[in-house]
Amino acid sequence: MSPNLKVVASDRLSPTRQRLAEVIKALNRASADVDAASAPATRLREVIAEHDRRRRVLVECEVADRTALGEAIAEGEAITADPSGATIAAQAAVDERQCAGGR
C-alpha cells in the first residue's frame, strides 16, 4: 500500500477510533462507579460471612462441651457444667463482633 493510501485510510478511521476510545473511557468510568457503589454491599456480605463462621465455631464448641459432659456423666466422673476455654473464646469472638457493630 502506498503511503498516501495509508494516510487516507487512517484519516477515514480516525473518528471511529476516537469514538471507540471515548466509549472505552466511559465504560471504565462506569465500571469504577459500579465498584465504588457496590463496596458497602460487598463489605456487608463479608461481615455476615465472618459472623456466620464465628457462630459455627461457637456451636461446634458447645456441642463438644455437651458431648464431654455426657461422657463424664456416663463414666461417673466429677462433672462441671462450665463451658470450655474454647467455647468461652468462641463466644467472646461472636460478642466482640456484635459489639463492634460488625467492624
The burial class, CB within 10 Å (0-12 / 13-18 / 19+), for 1 is exposed
Instruction: Band the pLDDT of 1: cuts 50, 70, 90.
Output: very low
Residues 100, 83: Cα–Cα separation, whole Å: 24
Question: Could you read off the pLDDT of 12-58 as tens digits, one per residue?
Answer: 668 888 899 899 999 999 999 999 999 999 999 999 999 999 999 99
Domain holding 57, by residue range, is 3-99
Residues 34, 66: Cα–Cα separation, whole Å: 48
Sign of CA dihedral 63, 65, 66, 67: positive
Considering its fold, how many domains does the chain have in total? 1
- pLDDT, residue 11, reads 62
Q: Quote the pTM value.
A: 0.59
Question: Could you read off the pLDDT of 53-99 as tens digits, one per residue?
Answer: 999 999 999 999 999 888 988 888 877 778 888 889 889 988 886 66
Transcribe 34-57 into DSSP letters.
HHHHHHHHHHHHHHHHHHHHHHHH
